[in-house]
Amino acid sequence: SQQGEEDPQALSIQEGENATMNCSYKTSINNLQWYRQNSGRGLVHLILIRSNEREKHSGRLRVTLDTSKKSSSLLITASRAADTASYFCATALISSGSARQLTFGSGTQLTVLP
Amino acid sequence: DGGITQSPKYLFRKEGQNVTLSCEQNLNHDAMYWYRQDPGQGLRLIYYSQIVNDFQKGDIAEGYSVSREKKESFPLTVTSAQKNPTAFYLCASGTGSGELFFGEGSRLTVL
């Protein structure tokens, strides 16, 4: 089963509004990452938050992490039509290996209407 | 430019044929990964490699094979044993921090 699950599955908002997506996971993690995927393209890394961090910002993106609830949220402020994409959370499990495997959720499809 | 190059972008396969998807990176990353994505779904790990000449099975390795003879290259072969190969295939490479860099994907369709 998926380690991370995004909610909602689909979100439609007007340009200029804020978009919030949530991610829940099941086991202890080393870090949690958010990626964006435009239709038919590869994924692009947006932001990484470590298990000992609670909040992180990058431009119009704000990510929070609550390890007690095993959940994270991605907030995109002042959305633009170009933000239309699928957004995935990915969790890196605590591992002794040098290459941490990421487990991806099923994504939130965000549509920003002009 | 540094990055990951996947080819071909589109590939059609007849039943019973093996096909190989190419993945090349010039980011000097040790780790490389292959994921499969089905419509409206997340990514599922097929194979990954942490170092040259070594690779491990992911969650859905059956019907696939890989090699890692060079640091820059991690080709994926979809064999005739893979019963439902139509999908979008994504290659990625990684840094020690866990962040992944993805190629643009290869879309495989079985005719």
Tokens of B36: 């499969």
Q: What is the pLDDT of residue A98?
A: 45
Query: pLDDT tens digit string along B13-32?
Result: 888 899 999 999 999 999 99
Tokens of A67: 């390890």
Q: Does B43 touch chain A (CB under 8 A)?
A: yes
Q: Does A93 touch chain B (CB under 8 A)?
A: no
Residues in chain A: 114
Whether residue A64 contacts residue A73, with contact meaning beta carbons closer than 8 Å, is answered with yes
CB contact under 8 A, B104 and A31: no
Which ranges in chain B belong to alpha helices (H)? none
Query: pLDDT tens digit string along A21-78?
Result: 999 999 888 899 999 999 999 999 999 999 999 999 999 999 999 999 999 999 999 9
Whether residue B12 contacts residue B109, with contact meaning beta carbons closer than 8 Å, is answered with yes
Q: Does A56 touch chain B (CB under 8 A)?
A: no
Tokens of B83: 């019963």
Please calculate the CA angle A37-B24-B41 and round it to the nearest 5 degrees.
30
Query: pLDDT tens digit string along B69-79?
Result: 999 999 999 99
Task: Return d(Cα B37, Cα B72) in angstroms, integer.
Answer: 23
Task: Return d(Cα A65, Cα A68) in angstroms, integer.
Answer: 9
**If phi over 0 gives left and psi between -120 and 50 gives alpha, with beta otherwise, what is residue B5?**
beta
Query: pLDDT tens digit string along B39-64?
Result: 888 899 999 999 999 999 998 999 99
Residue of A nearest to B43 (CA): A104
Asked if residue A8 has a cis previous peptide bond (ω within 30° of 0), the answer is: yes
pLDDT band at A5 (very low <50, low <70, confident <90, very high): confident
* One-letter identity of residue A2: Q
Whether residue B22 contacts residue B9, with contact meaning beta carbons closer than 8 Å, is answered with no
Whether residue B58 contacts residue B47, with contact meaning beta carbons closer than 8 Å, is answered with yes
Q: Which of B48, B88, B103 is the closest to A99 by Cβ? A: B48
What residues pair up with B92 in beta bridges, in sequence order?
B33, B102
Domains of chain A: 5-113 (2.60.40.10)
* One-letter identity of residue A21: M
Task: Return d(Cα A1, Cα B87) in angstroms, integer.
Answer: 19
DSSP type of residue A47:
E
* One-letter identity of residue A70: K
CB contact under 8 A, A104 and B42: yes
